[in-house]
Structure 1
Amino acid sequence: MKIGIVIPAHNEEQHLSACLQSIQQAIQHTGHEQVEILVVLDSCTDQSRSVVESHQVNWIECNFACVGKARDLGIRQLIDQGVIWVACTDADTIVDSDWILCQMLHQPTDAICGVVTLDDLSHLSVQQQQKYLAHYQDSMDHQHIHGANLSFSAEAYIQAGGFEPIPCHEDVSLIEKFIKQCCKVTRSNLVRVTTSSRLNGRAPEGLSYFLKHL
């Protein structure tokens, strides 16, 4: 099974190196040789490209300023190269060492919604921390959908029409389309990543927005 990993990045020079290092470690952990990483540099004006090049990872550039379009561009390029399973994460995210391995253990399935752990809660008030922890389901069959930890078959993706060209909630929209076409969606807390709890995120109504408004 040829696997593709797509990471959209908009001015993420501070986070990209740790993200790519964690993915490369996850690939080594599987022993799987057919894994392609592709970073989609979207409207970057910082040193993100240099960081990616230092890790000898493939990249493409675009000027969409839209995460839905950036993800879709990268995914379709990898599918054209023969990838049949696609894993998505974000540039401010670190994947667990068994991230890919756990995705393989859940096969056969059409899509997997994994969970996220926040890297730091200390800048949130005690009340905000309590609200978040009460809200988040770190369990199997959870109801969360994160673009930072979402994977699926190329076949299901093409049939669904792909990510919508929208600046946020493209992940939720895709899963809704999978469900409408009766795909098998696995919701797992074994497939794990750690993501930034920053309050100045890139998606206008993404996780940062949610944390800010707890």
Structure 2
Amino acid sequence: MIGIAIPAHDEESHIEAAVAAALRAARHPGLANEACRVVVAADACSDATEARARAAGAWTVALSARNVGLARAEAARVLVQAGARWLAFTDADTRVSEAWLVQQLSLGADAVCGCVGVDDWSCHGDDAATVRAHFLGTYEDRDGHRHIHGANLGVSVSAYRRAGGFRSLACGEDVDFVRALEASGARIAWSARPRVTTSARRHARVVGGFADALLRALVPAPAATLPSTA
């Protein structure tokens, strides 16, 4: 069985689209009808995220940690317990492509780090062109990249266990986990083939996340400091 894990905190406006895309990927003919389960870890949600995820066809598990590392780990725990051999991680504001799972598995690696794309920059209003240009000018969307995104990550259950899973981190849990995979000797494919489209949030949920990285485009460069004279 293949498992898809989605952490979510107050994502009622995005979760149905995320689950629908994940389920389309799960029905890809290239998977030869292998069973696939989507689990949404609803973390400290005060909106309809959990109910909408269930209505869309996902299993749900609720927690109150407000911690994305724990949310990813909890979704993974449910999937492993259900018999998953492969864990595919994405985010609640992300839509995976129909061939996402097939492309991850085709790489024959212990783990796959994929890229992300953005197709709607309008949330940035008058700054949209600036933020988009910054992203396109600095992001490496190619095989051999070194980006790490929880929104596009896959790993065999055996490699996940060897690396110790996700730690309790409010941000950077994906980078921390991939570093643990590297330390464990896992074979990692850094590939642009598994495709996902994510949100270009204007308001970052956490410092250091993807939205925060996009917003750096709007921070003025520091003025040059002139040398002091005696």
**Matched residues in 2 for 1:54 and 1:181: separation?**
38
* Cα RMSD after superposing both structures: 1.3
Check the 8 A contact 1:103/1:191 in 2, yes or no.
Answer: yes
Q: Residue 144 of structure 2 corresponds to which residue in structure 1? A: 141
Offset at residue 163 of structure 1 (A) = 0.9
Matched, 1:36 2:37: yes
**Matched residues in 1 for 2:9 and 2:201: separation?**
15
**Matched residues in 2 for 1:4 and 1:46: separation?**
25
Q: Percent identity?
A: 36
Offset at residue 3 of structure 1 (A) = 0.8
Offset at residue 120 of structure 1 (A) = 1.7
Offset at residue 125 of structure 1 (A) = 4.6
Aligned length: 212
Q: Residue 128 of structure 1 corresponds to which residue in structure 2? A: 131
**TM-score, structure 2 normalization:** 0.88
- The alpha-carbon distance between structure 1 residues 141 and 63, as it changes in their structure 2 partners (threshold 3 A), is same
**Matched residues in 2 for 1:57 and 1:132: separation?**
32
**Matched residues in 2 for 1:144 and 1:207: separation?**
11
Q: Name the SS of the counterpart of 1:119 in structure 2.
A: coil
Q: Residue 103 of structure 1 corresponds to which residue in structure 2? A: 104
**Matched residues in 2 for 1:203 and 1:27: separation?**
30
**Matched residues in 2 for 1:133 and 1:164: separation?**
31
Matched, 1:14 2:13: yes
Offset at residue 17 of structure 1 (A) = 0.8
**TM-score, structure 1 normalization:** 0.94
| Structure 2 portions without partners, runs of 5+ | 218-230
Check the 8 A contact 1:67/1:203 in 2, yes or no.
Answer: no
- The 5 Å alignment of 1:64-213 reads 64-107=65-108, 109-122=109-122, 123=124, 124-213=127-216
Offset at residue 42 of structure 1 (A) = 0.3
**Matched residues in 2 for 1:113 and 1:95: separation?**
14
**Matched residues in 1 for 2:75 and 2:54: separation?**
17
Q: Residue 5 of structure 1 corresponds to which residue in structure 2? A: 4
Q: Name the SS of the counterpart of 1:116 in structure 2.
A: coil
Offset at residue 52 of structure 1 (A) = 1.2
**Matched residues in 2 for 1:42 and 1:204: separation?**
18
Q: Residue 224 of structure 2 corresponds to which residue in structure 1? A: none
State the AA in 1 paired with 2:94.
Answer: T
State the AA in 2 paired with 1:10.
Answer: H
- The alpha-carbon distance between structure 1 residues 78 and 125, as it changes in their structure 2 partners (threshold 3 A), is closer
| Structure 1 portions without partners, runs of 5+ | none
**Matched residues in 1 for 2:193 and 2:23: separation?**
19
Cα deviation digits, residues 79-131 of structure 1 (max 9, x gap): 12221110000000000010011112112x11000111013234235443322
State the AA in 1 paired with 2:6.
Answer: I
The structure where strand makes up a greater share of residues is 1
State the AA in 2 paired with 1:81.
Answer: A
Check the 8 A contact 1:112/1:186 in 2, yes or no.
Answer: yes
Q: Name the SS of the counterpart of 1:189 in structure 2.
A: coil
State the AA in 2 paired with 1:46.
Answer: D
**Matched residues in 2 for 1:171 and 1:165: separation?**
11
State the AA in 2 paired with 1:26.
Answer: A
**Matched residues in 2 for 1:57 and 1:181: separation?**
31
Cα deviation digits, residues 50-87 of structure 1 (max 9, x gap): 21121132101000100001101111221122211100
